[in-house]
Structure 1
Amino acid sequence: MSGRAHGPARASAPAWHEVHLWHFSLDVAADGFAGVLSPEEEARRDRLADVRHRNRFTVAHGVKRRILGPYLSTPPRRVPIETGRWGKPRVAGDEVTFSLSHAGGAALLAVSRGRDVGVDIERPRPGLDPPRFAARYFRPEESRQVASAAPALRWASFLALWTRKEASVKAVGARLGQALSLPVGRGACAVCVPAGPTAAQCRVDDIAVRPGHAGAVALVGPGPFRVVSRTWDAAGAVDGTAAAVTEVPISFR
């Protein structure tokens, strides 16, 4: 295997106040990514019975490694990923932090440095009733917000809250069950997330994602942050090793 790190051209690590947000599709050929997974990831993939799920898993973790590799000057397969408390993945021995999320065929990878990051993308789920779920688990004012939304907007109202909660919890490495009643406000705001016997502060905001979905990103610490949105287009790769990348700066949150 070549020692060359495939992916974006020698990307500079984000500043402490910055998140690089990578958008990509999971519904592409998985052949070019299988060789970069770790043995543990390959074992997890092989336990999946559904072919489509295996394909998406391979692409998600293959792209993750190809994006992280250049930040670390490391070949993708050798990116040292370990699992922290509550299962939060992290880069071992480096300031680079990341968070991966997907919903169906849409995926996001958030990358930062020096501050833990969390990202979430969601879409409507068959069989889930947003007002009923919100009434049971969310704060009263949030439940009322979901219930009072026009029928066509209830899923959007619910998912805006859900993604903000999950992104915040993923950023601090806590469990979602601890934060279903977490007040997450609207727009860019500070959130105090319970994390075991203590609490951690982070800043969360909504992000633009593909139509029919909702997304949010959170960064540990109270300070504002800047999101740089990038698209990884594996289908646009010229030689099968590097994808076409577009970048759109977004203002501070």
Structure 2
Amino acid sequence: MRPGGSRLECCATDLRPRPPPPPSSSPQDPAIPSGPSLPPAPALRDLAGRLRRLPPSCGPVRLIGVDGHAGSGKSTFAGRLARALGGAPVLHLDDIASHEELFGWTGRLLAQVVEPLGRGETAHYRPYDWRTRRFGPPRALPPAPVILVEGVGAGRRALRPWLAALLWLELPAEQAWARGRDRDGEEQRAFWDGWVPAERRHFRDDPSRPHADLLVRPGHSVHEGYDVLPGPAGTAGQGPDSHRT
């Protein structure tokens, strides 16, 4: 977060579905069926309003990081929050990473996305295709009032100065990884065997959680809601009670 920026108050959130990943992609979060049975919760709309009121952090844009262990529910949460924000863009870091650079994508993200947005310009990035192992044609990302950056490492050291807020999905690593392995099945076993030690090394060298404004603790299912607590870096929203959707 930029020094002197406003802090988020603690509030409740909810989830939104995302299509399931391709067979040979990086770990993704589980898809939850969408529809009228899962409208944005009032507390999620409240969170969206608070994000809109934060000072811009990257040119005219409020970049919001959504970080956590693989399998913790980041993309689902980010999608639901984007819906509450009226269709805010979501940049999935799986589009920036690659098989060769699971975490070594900082320069590409800054050059293709962050720096252009910081100048108030439309960013152009080339989404990585996890099937063909190639980067695709450029995709435009125009400036918007709020843009969510979702993925493992969204709260990394090099990106934090550009973030208006950082949200961390509070699920223990082993539990999140087990969810991801169960979801992706035997076909993705070799990928996960390589991913887990890489993620361990990343968070050992560049931890995100200590810098989170909010901790989002998922329930056992979407219907149980989510506890949202002040994060280690948060100073607002401290009170006797947490909130639940």
TM-score normalized by structure 2? 0.29
TM-score normalized by structure 1? 0.28
**Which has the bigger relative contact order, CA under 8 A and spacing at least 6?**
2
Q: Which has the higher strand share?
A: 1
Higher radius of gyration, 1 or 2: 1
